[in-house]
Amino acid sequence: MLNYSALAASKESELLLIQSDFRARGGDVTPADPDAPEPARKIRLQIPGKEMSVQEYKVVLQKHLGVISAARPGDTIEIEIQ
């Protein structure tokens, strides 16, 4: 039997995957100038502490993968770690 925290983490990751699919489908707009480089996407990585459980770390990583899942492989990102 799953407890609430284990079930909530799995459902949150499913929700992030669904949201990322919507973002990927919505990105079919062509830019006005295709030769112009796109600015780097800024991402803020927030880690709650120096020590955490593996499950907590998995949730943090899943959340950030959901944020960049709609990006193309050639896109650039700028990461700010807090």
The pLDDT of residue 26 is: 55
What mean pLDDT value characterizes the chain?
A: 75
Contact 24, 61 (CB under 8 A): no
What are 58-79's pLDDT values in tens digits?
Answer: 888 888 888 888 788 888 888 8
The pLDDT of residue 33 is: 67
- Is the pTM higher than 0.75? The answer reads no
Q: What is the DSSP string of 32-56?
A: S-TTSPPPPEEEEE--S-S---HHH
What are 17-73's pLDDT values in tens digits?
Answer: 777 666 555 555 555 666 677 788 888 877 877 888 898 888 888 888 888 887 888
How far is residue 6's CA from residue 25's CA, in Å, rounded to a whole number? 29
Nearest one of 72, 25, 24, 65 to 45, comparing CA atoms = 65
